[in-house]
Structure 1
Amino acid sequence: MNIGPLEPKVPDLIVAVLCFALVFVLFAKVLLPRLGRVLAERTDAIEGTIERAEETRLKAERLHDKYKSELAEARRELAHLRQEALEQGAAIIAAAREEGARQRDALIAGAQAQLEVDRTLAAAELTEGVRHIAIELAGRIVGEPLDEFASSDVVDRCLEELTTQFSSRGTPG
């Protein structure tokens, strides 16, 4: 009694075992080594990519650190330049103020000297004017022209006495 595939015939079973063994040997000897090599290549490629990615990441970190240090150095340099500019600006302002004060003092001294010269000239002109008026007035009082007294020491002494008396009382202003 033959039930079918549950009770195979012995020759079919031998052929099936031989076919299975042949396929197993082919798989074991040819296909599995190729699969192993492909898997090894893929593993190497993946690991190589991971290593290259890690190297690239480390290189990027080094570049980033270098960039950060250069940026910090640039900021220090900028702060140094800014400080120098502030100091130079303060020095320029101080020099300009000093020059302005010096010019102001020179102008004041020049103006005071000019005032003194003008005052002396005005006093001389005033004295000369008073002398002529005094001689003319004295000539009117006497009734004769007194032009010969124009260069006289008498008039000069009289004017000096008046100036001394006027100065001793105090000049207004």
Structure 2
Amino acid sequence: MDQLILASGESSAPNPLVPNITEMIVVLLGFLVLLFIVVKFVVPMFEKTFAERAEAIEGGIAKAEKAQAEATAALEEYKQQLTDARTEANRIREEARAEGAQILAELKEKAAAEAARLTEQAHAQIEAERQAAVVSLRSEVGSLATTLAGRIVGESLEDDARAGRVVDRFLADLETQSAGVAQ
């Protein structure tokens, strides 16, 4: 029987090379429904997710740029403060040096003034002691000269006025001799 069917050319099985119209319509409708669902629901979700990610990335980039700008500004401020601090430290150091030099000069000036005062005081004391010694020597030399002159002359020179004149003359002669030896 199979041979008969084959010989007659009629077959009950469809040809696999020729498409079946009903199947094509069903597949096409299924494809269109699926396409509608993808376009209506899936693509907008992908677009939304893509937009959120793009926005997050752009926001992250903006935040990073803002943080970078803030960090750069903070670094510049720190550098400026460091420069200001160094300048201030140098100014304070120079003021301290100047003040130290001024204090040293004042102390030297005070020491020089004190030394001059002490030297003047010592000169005054030496002069006073020299004057006292001269007065003391005059009185001793005068009494010795009076006694010696009295022995040489043979008379007493107890008279104060006469003794004073003799002593003054004797001392004047001594000073004249001293001045001549010194020259």
TM-score normalised by length of structure 1: 0.78
Q: 2:72 aligns with which of 61, 75, 78?
A: 61
Choose 1 or 2 for highest CA Rg.
2
* Shift of residue 24, structure 1, vs aligned partner: 2.1
2:85 matches 1:74: yes
Measured against aligned partners, the alpha-carbon deviations of 1:61-82 in whole angstroms (never above 9, x if no partner) come to 1222222223222222222222
From the superposition, tell whether residues 95 and 2 of structure 1 become closer, same or farther in structure 2 (CA, over 3 Å). Answer: farther
Equivalent residues of 1:149, 1:155 under 8 A apart: no
Q: What does residue 132 of structure 1 align with?
A: 143
- Provide the C-alpha distance between the structure 1 equivalents of 2:15 and 2:112, rounded to a whole number of angstroms: 131
Cα distance change on mapping 1:107 and 1:2 into 2, 3 Å:
farther
Normalised TM-score (structure 2): 0.74
Identical counterparts, % of pairs: 33
What is the Cα deviation at residue 125 of structure 1? 1.4
Distance of aligned partners of 1:16 and 1:83 in 2 relative to their CA distance in 1, 3 Å threshold: same
Pair 100,2 (structure 1): closer, same or farther in 2 beyond 3 Å: farther
**C-alpha distance in 1, partners of 2:140/2:159?**
14
Give the distance between the partners of 1:7 and 1:159, measured in 2 at CA.
176
Q: Does 1:117 align with 2:128?
A: yes
Count of residues in Structure 1 that have an aligned counterpart in Structure 2 = 170
- Output one character per residue of 1:81-104: Cα deviation in whole Å (capped at 9) or x when no partner: 222222222222222212221221
Separation in 2, partners of 1:158, 1:16 = 167
- One-letter amino acid of the structure 2 residue matched with residue 102 of structure 1: A
Q: Distance in 2 between matches of 1:8 and 1:115?
A: 150
Q: What are the equivalent positions in structure 2 for 1:80-91 lying under 5 Å apart?
A: 80-91=91-102
Higher deviation after alignment, 13-22 or 30-39: 13-22
Residue 25 of structure 1 deviates from its aligned partner by: 1.6
Q: Which residue of 1 aligns with 2:158?
A: 148
Counterparts in 2 of 1:136 and 1:10: CA distance versus 1, 3 Å:
same
Q: Does 1:29 align with 2:40?
A: yes
1:122 and 1:2 map into 2 onto residues whose CA distance is 167
Does the 8 A contact of 1:135 with 1:149 survive in 2?
A: no
Report if aligned partners of 1:135, 1:147 keep a CA contact under 8 Å in 2. Answer: yes
8 Å contact from structure 2 (residues 145, 167) kept in 1 = no
Displacement of 1:142 after TM fit? 7.5
* Deviation of the 1:139 alpha carbon: 5.9
The unaligned stretches of length 5 or more in structure 1 are none
Among 33, 51, 56, the alignment partner of 1:40 is 51
How far does the alpha carbon of each residue in 1:137-157 deviate from its partner, in whole angstroms, 9 at most, with x for none? 55666788x582566224423
**Residue 126 of structure 1: CA displacement?**
1.9
Match in the other structure for 1:102? 113
Report if aligned partners of 2:146, 2:157 keep a CA contact under 8 Å in 1.
yes
